[in-house]
């Protein structure tokens, strides 16, 4: 309550809170005054939660509602969120609480910042993006994932390395300025610190078989996840899915299909397996046949940007999990791609005036 009140007082000065304020607020169990919370519109329905756009004392918020049967998911997501605040590329957590639903059972709420443009998948299905926006969006997701994967000591705060375990374009949210944040930590798992995952735990099966089937890495589908080095293995699974997310995003990049229609938005493997691929179908296609999404016909140019981009995707979704990029390395690659084109725009500009150098890229 304190936190939200503070934010309210500060009005539009969104970035005036110190990191410490946010950390404290995120870690406190201070209850929000739910009497003032109004749920206005259903905006998402996932496996464990129902998400509403809501309003709390005139402030627009998103509310993820868990029924009593999903209490463990709620607890887990809340505790992961507290570890991760604040970060520019992680969805902003405001508060968590419990209340009694109409049927007399408890229900659980996670309050977070409301992202008006919704999830990345939906955004891309209605909008194309230019090169620099696409780079910035995917770079942001990658930066969020790299942060998640990193073990950090900040003063007396400890942040363990965490695996997301459900990286998909539906679990990335888009800000009004089209920067992106990673969200939905309901399946996330601490990899270091006091209670990291261990092979042979009771939940070994759940360690290897969670997430969205479409984005499951070949070693998960094939039951060959390396549980001896759980930390690396689960990070590699996240990076595989990140590669698919890049493919979905850059397909919608207008600059990569110059003079041609930008391909319609597609989920990874949608062309091959449709809207509801089964585990077995995915297993055959991805684990056994080693199939990966095809690059669109319109990506013909042999430009440096396209070559680096394709290579980055392939290095993320490599069949050999250990050969994949780390999230940190993928972040650097994406950053280089962003710069490459900023440079090219200038280059192109110079070119039109001097006609001295061949135009390259994009």
169 binds Mg ion (CB under 5 A): no
Measured from the CB atom, the residue of 125 and 326 that comes closer to ligand ADP is: 125
46 binds ligand ADP (CB under 6 A): yes
Taking Cα atoms as reference points, which of 138, 276, 126 lies closest to residue 212?
276
Q: What stretch of H or E contains 283?
A: none
Minimum separation from the CB atom of position 300 to Mg ion (A): 35
Longest dimension (CA), the chain: 76
Which range in 141-149, 185-193, 313-321, 341-349 contacts Mg ion by CB under 5 A? 185-193
Is 315 among the catalytic positions?
A: no
Which range in 19-27, 98-106, 170-178, 200-208 contacts Mg ion by CB under 5 A? 170-178
**Does residue 126 contact residue 178 with C-beta atoms inside 8 Å?**
no
Q: Backbone dihedral region of 118: left (phi > 0), alpha (psi from -120 to 50 degrees) or beta?
A: left
Q: Which of 115, 123, 265, 317 is the binder for ligand ADP (CB under 6 A)?
A: 115
Return the structure tokens found at 332.
Answer: 């650097």
Q: Which of 32, 62, 111, 256 is the binder for ligand ADP (CB under 6 A)?
A: 62
Minimum separation from the CB atom of position 120 to Mg ion (A): 11
Q: Which does 44 bind (CB under 5 to 8 A by kind): Mg ion, ligand ADP, none?
A: ligand ADP
263 binds ligand ADP (CB under 6 A): no
**Does residue 40 contact residue 52 with C-beta atoms inside 8 Å?**
yes
**Does residue 149 contact residue 326 with C-beta atoms inside 8 Å?**
yes
Q: Which does 62 bind (CB under 5 to 8 A by kind): ligand ADP, Mg ion, none?
A: ligand ADP
Q: Which does 64 bind (CB under 5 to 8 A by kind): Mg ion, ligand ADP, none?
A: ligand ADP
In the set 97, 166, 184, 318, the catalytic residue is 166
211 binds Mg ion (CB under 5 A): no
Within residues 19-58, the interface with Mg ion by CB under 5 A covers 46
Measured from the CB atom, the residue of 140 and 186 that comes closer to Mg ion is: 186
Task: Indicate the length of the chain as a whole number.
Answer: 362
Q: What stretch of H or E contains 15?
A: none
- Please list the alpha-helical segments (H only) found in 201-319: 204-208, 218-221, 230-250, 270-273, 279-282, 304-316
238 binds Mg ion (CB under 5 A): no
Minimum separation from the CB atom of position 48 to ligand ADP (A): 5
211 binds ligand ADP (CB under 6 A): no
Taking Cα atoms as reference points, which of 206, 201, 158, 200 lies closest to residue 186?
206
Minimum separation from the CB atom of position 186 to Mg ion (A): 4
* x-or-dash string of contact with ligand ADP, 75-114, rule CB under 6 A: ----------------x--------------------xxx
**Does residue 318 contact residue 230 with C-beta atoms inside 8 Å?**
no
The residue behind tokens 């396209």 is 306
Which range in 11-19, 48-56, 148-156, 285-293 contacts ligand ADP by CB under 6 A? 48-56
167 binds ligand ADP (CB under 6 A): no
Q: Which of 171, 208, 232, 257 is the binder for ligand ADP (CB under 6 A)?
A: 171
- Please list the alpha-helical segments (H only) found in the chain: 2-10, 19-27, 71-84, 120-126, 131-149, 204-208, 218-221, 230-250, 270-273, 279-282, 304-316, 327-354
Q: Which does 189 bind (CB under 5 to 8 A by kind): ligand ADP, Mg ion, none?
A: none
Contacts of residue 13, defined as CB under 8 A and 6 or more positions apart, other chains included, come to none
d(CA 199, CA 206): 11
CA distances from 148 to 161, 163, 175, 212, 233 (A): 6, 7, 19, 19, 15
Q: Which of 171, 188, 249, 257 is the binder for Mg ion (CB under 5 A)?
A: 171
Q: Give the residues lining the site for ligand ADP (CB under 6 A).
A: 43-44, 46-49, 51, 62, 64, 91, 112-115, 118-119, 170-171, 173, 183-184, 186
* Catalytically active residues, by annotation: 166
């Amino acid at each position: 309550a304190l936190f939200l009140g503070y934010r309210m007082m500060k009005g539009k000065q969104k970035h005036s809170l110190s990191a410490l304020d946010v950390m404290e607020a995120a870690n406190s169990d201070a209850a929000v005054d739910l009497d003032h919370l109004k749920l206005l519109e259903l905006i998402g329905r996932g496996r464990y939660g129902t998400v509403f756009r809501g309003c709390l004392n005139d402030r627009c918020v998103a509310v993820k509602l868990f029924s009593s049967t999903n209490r463990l998911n709620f607890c887990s997501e809340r505790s992961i969120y507290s570890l991760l605040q604040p970060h520019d590329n992680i969805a902003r957590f405001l508060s968590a609480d419990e209340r009694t639903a109409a049927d007399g059972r408890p229900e659980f709420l996670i309050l977070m910042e409301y992202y008006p443009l919704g999830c990345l998948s939906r955004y891309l299905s209605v909008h194309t993006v230019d090169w620099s926006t696409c780079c910035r969006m995917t770079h942001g997701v990658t930066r969020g994932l790299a942060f998640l994967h990193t073990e950090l000591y900040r003063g007396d705060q400890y942040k363990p390395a965490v695996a997301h375990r459900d990286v998909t374009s539906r679990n990335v949210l888009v800000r009004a300025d089209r920067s992106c944040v990673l969200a939905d930590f309901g399946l996330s798992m601490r990899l270091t610190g006091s209670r990291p995952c261990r092979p042979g735990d009771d939940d070994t099966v759940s360690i290897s078989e969670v997430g969205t089937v479409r984005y499951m890495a070949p070693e998960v589908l094939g039951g060959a996840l390396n549980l001896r080095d759980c930390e690396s293995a689960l990070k590699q699974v996240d990076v595989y899915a990140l590669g698919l997310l890049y493919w979905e995003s850059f397909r919608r990049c207008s600059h990569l299909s110059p003079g041609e229609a930008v391909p319609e938005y597609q989920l990874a493997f949608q062309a091959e397996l449709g809207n509801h691929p089964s585990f077995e179908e995915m297993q055959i296609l991805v684990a056994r046949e080693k199939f990966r999404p095809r690059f669109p016909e319109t990506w013909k140019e042999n430009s440096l940007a396209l070559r680096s981009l394709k290579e980055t995707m392939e290095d993320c979704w490599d069949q050999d999990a250990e050969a994949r990029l780390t999230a940190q390395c993928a972040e650097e690659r994406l950053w280089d791609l962003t710069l490459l084109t900023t440079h090219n725009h200038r280059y192109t500009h110079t070119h039109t005036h001097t006609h001295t150098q061949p135009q390259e890229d994009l």
